[in-house]
Structure 1
């Protein structure tokens, strides 16, 4: 019995953990439900705490080029304080609310190449187990889907999506990173714009929509980035002509006019405007990243790319997407980061 306890303390013959998320994509700001299954090992143990980490694989631009890292963007304790006897089983159900700014990983069933996961940590006396990692699928809010569908109807084509470490100045952004969805312009805008990058920053009141356009230079001017912010309420979904609305945004961007915004109850409506720089968040990377007014190009996440059809062909932004090879096991991307950290340590 003493030997069994020793083995359990060092992880050999200890309890096993399996987290099962309820099926179907979840929505930003919505509930994430599931169960943590535990099976007792070769000795009785006290489960002090069960914690779920929401983790994301993000990118950062630095002087040394593009870097990748892992960010924990939410952490919730879902159980603990019970005895798990040798060889017995116990299930801990959980329900937690996703942050409103949780990135979208799928549109109409097609993966975008954005990698999110739920990591389970079980804390016992003198030991922690971080072995269980599950893929997290997040669908779009109705406003997000409406805007992207309108862009597709207007002829924009999907290029890629990624998560960028940093903060968009002048917005109500809460997470230490933001999602960029890169789109190619239709032919009638191609003379003015190379591409646009769309970022959704959702809250309980509505969604801030930041659109950055890579504008082409003219005979007497250089190309530059133009950043505009718009805001809509969740209630506007069923009462808006989205094609006309989004078309007016694009025309403002192409013409160089300022952005408009502010939905009812938006605590950030007074701070809208051009977003000239991004405040960096450094702690998860070997090297920090600083985004300035210079032109930024962001590639797709490691091992995950979604290609789009030619501009103007898609019926919706997602309508013409062709899914390329996506990471088979979400753990691969995170394990690469952790193994690098271990090697350096």
Structure 2
């Protein structure tokens, strides 16, 4: 995947940069490898640094509304200072680590509706910075995450959409300033008590925090119920996830959301946005947002699977950035 773009910040005759990803598909906690290819312009250029940033489209709540922005959630400098001579071709290899909490954007070769992630190349010359090169990247689930996603499908859930919400999940080990919500429509046997279920993974080297939010039907013990499960990656591969999820959902209608406190099962904690956190035992309803429907994840799995947010950009520009790159790719 190569995107050629003249560095407009430096004027006519400036160097150009191509970023080539050797690993356009990655997993959380993995390595992103490739090379940055530079072509000198009409003059010698003193390069101060080349930095790669992982960026994603995120949803930001403000007042009674919600907007989109581009959040940079990981940075790695891949080159220090050097002189790029007039007309010179230079290649810089890179290998950078991917945060464990990097959101999932693709399953079995199928893109998750609502997700947009990329690698942005930043080149600094004479204290001017150009962030013009953006490569789209696909993030596939870890095997432990895929097992849980498959369990939803086995129970008859249908994928709705996915997005990234700015904020912190209360009581979790979350490190990034946003979290991913993967939304499902419930199967018929639970449709009477549950409207939607949102799944969030907080991954780390040792395992997963699995956080569920069920939007319960009106009149059934309140609005939402929260379930949590913390487990190692290896143990997750041998857990009866369809059974765990089915028991949790059945408990919502039977016990009003208080089911699941047993050892090793789903418990119920607070879940908050931004600076507003619910307390333990009192899940906080944080609203639901309309998204475009995506393909059913049954087809998706069958196809191939058995620091700080940077400056936020207006939603229109976000769409233009990612859509332009998708067209070029």
Runs of at least 5 residues in structure 2 that lack an aligned partner in the other structure: 1-7, 279-283, 304-314, 323-329
Spell out, residue by residue over 1:269-304, the C-alpha distance to the aligned partner (whole angstroms, 9 max, x if none).
Answer: xxx741242234xxxxxxxxx67733511333xxxx
1:142-291 aligned within 5 A: 142-218=143-219, 223-254=222-253, 255=255, 256=257, 257-259=259-261, 273-280=268-275
Query: How far 1:9 moved relative to its partner?
Result: 9.0
Answering whether residue 290 of structure 2 is matched by residue 299 of structure 1, we say: yes
8 Å contact from structure 2 (residues 70, 318) kept in 1:
yes
Spell out, residue by residue over 1:170-224, the C-alpha distance to the aligned partner (whole angstroms, 9 max, x if none).
Answer: 1111111111011011111111101100001101110101100001133xx5641
Taking structure 1 as reference, are residues 179 and 13 closer, same or farther at Cα in structure 2, changes over 3 Å only? Answer: same
Taking structure 1 as reference, are residues 129 and 245 closer, same or farther at Cα in structure 2, changes over 3 Å only? Answer: same
Answering whether residue 19 of structure 2 is matched by residue 32 of structure 1, we say: no
Spell out, residue by residue over 1:122-163, the C-alpha distance to the aligned partner (whole angstroms, 9 max, x if none).
Answer: 111232221101101100011111001011001111111111
Answering whether residue 83 of structure 2 is matched by residue 83 of structure 1, we say: yes
Spell out, residue by residue over 1:24-54, the C-alpha distance to the aligned partner (whole angstroms, 9 max, x if none).
Answer: 4100000011100000000111211000111
Counterpart Cα distance in 2 of 1:231 and 1:197: 16
8 Å contact from structure 1 (residues 51, 121) kept in 2:
yes
Taking structure 1 as reference, are residues 160 and 261 closer, same or farther at Cα in structure 2, changes over 3 Å only? Answer: farther
Counterpart Cα distance in 1 of 2:68 and 2:28: 23
Q: How many residues align?
A: 295
Runs of at least 5 residues in structure 1 that lack an aligned partner in the other structure: 1-7, 264-271, 281-289, 321-330, 339-345
Taking structure 1 as reference, are residues 253 and 37 closer, same or farther at Cα in structure 2, changes over 3 Å only? Answer: farther
Aligned partner of 1:334 in structure 2 is: 318
TM-score by length of 2: 0.81
1:60-71 aligned within 5 A: 60-71=60-71
8 Å contact from structure 1 (residues 230, 259) kept in 2:
no
SS of alignment partner, residue 32 of structure 2: strand
8 Å contact from structure 1 (residues 69, 337) kept in 2:
no
Single out whichever of 74-83 and 34-43 deviates more from structure 2.
74-83
Root-mean-square deviation (CA, aligned residues, Å) is 2.8
Answering whether residue 48 of structure 2 is matched by residue 54 of structure 1, we say: no
8 Å contact from structure 2 (residues 57, 71) kept in 1:
yes
TM-score by length of 1: 0.77
Query: How far 1:80 moved relative to its partner?
Result: 2.3
8 Å contact from structure 2 (residues 147, 237) kept in 1:
no
8 Å contact from structure 1 (residues 153, 317) kept in 2:
no
Query: How far 1:316 moved relative to its partner?
Result: 6.9
Counterpart Cα distance in 2 of 1:332 and 1:9: 21
SS of alignment partner, residue 230 of structure 2: strand
Counterpart Cα distance in 1 of 2:273 and 2:46: 45
